[in-house]
Amino acid sequence: MKKITWEEMKKEYPDEWLLITEFDLDKYGHILTGIVDRHSKEKANVYRLPGLNKPTAFRYTGESTFAGLSQVGWARPHRAHAKP
pLDDT band at 47 (very low <50, low <70, confident <90, very high): confident
Closest C-alpha among 29, 22, 23 to residue 71: 29
pLDDT band at 20 (very low <50, low <70, confident <90, very high): very high
| Bridge partners, 58 (sequence order) | 19, 74
Average pLDDT of the residues of the chain: 81
| Bridge partners, 24 (sequence order) | 33
pLDDT in the model for residue 84: 46
The model carries a pTM of 0.74
Domain residue extents for the chain? 4-63
The rounded distance, in Å, linking the Cα atoms of 40 and 51 is 16
Distance in angstroms between the alpha carbons of the first and the last residue of the chain: 34
The rounded distance, in Å, linking the Cα atoms of 19 and 44 is 11
The rounded distance, in Å, linking the Cα atoms of 6 and 30 is 9
